[in-house]
Amino acid sequence: MTTAPVGKYMTAKEVEACCKEPDDACKKFVNQQTMIRIKDPKKSLDFYTRVLGMRLIQTFDQPAAQRTLFFLGFCNADEIPKDKEERIKWLFLKPGCMELWYDYDAHKRDKPMHNGNCEPLGYGHIGLAVPHVKDACKRFDDLGVEFEMKVDTGFVKDTAFIRDPDGYWIELFNGATLIKA
């Protein structure tokens, strides 16, 4: 590891000192899902399935709590178990899923969803690895997707940011070329 400064706050050595070897009890933990709140399920489901290419895996309608949860992921249709119990078990073992949380009264709120990229700062973005960033951007542009930052206009080359219907940012990158940026 390097000891070069990491921004104004910490050196790389200080960063390394903060990071500990994972405890054996955590070795099988997996980042299974990211949850975001949505205002309009029709717009969000269309975006995440048709535009991004995810599949709806399972829906949990919870009328007593006045909400519906939609779980999506990147997979082939034939991978998803047909049996509901098996599908739910499979879902919650699958890494990298999205949970779209819809409160029944969300559409009535005057304010947009807070995406974390304006004050107060917080949540930042979803990262989506794609084979070719420029090709993905052309497709998204053709589909009328809103861009936060077009490819090669930011400080990191061969990356771009699009917005989902609620304004959440989605970073597009190719891991093989990102290292060269």
Give the residue numbers annotated as catalytic, written as ranges: 171
Length of the chain in terms of residues written: 181
C-alpha radius of gyration, the chain, whole number: 19
**Parallel, antiparallel, or unpaired: how do β-strands 159-163 and 147-149 relate?**
antiparallel
Residues whose CB falls within 8 Å of the CB of residue 157, separated by 6 or more in sequence, listed in order: 180, 181
- Please state, as a whole number, how many other Cβ atoms lie within 10 Å of the Cβ of residue 102: 21
Tokens representing residue 127 in the block: 């990262």
CB 111 within 8 A of CB 76: no
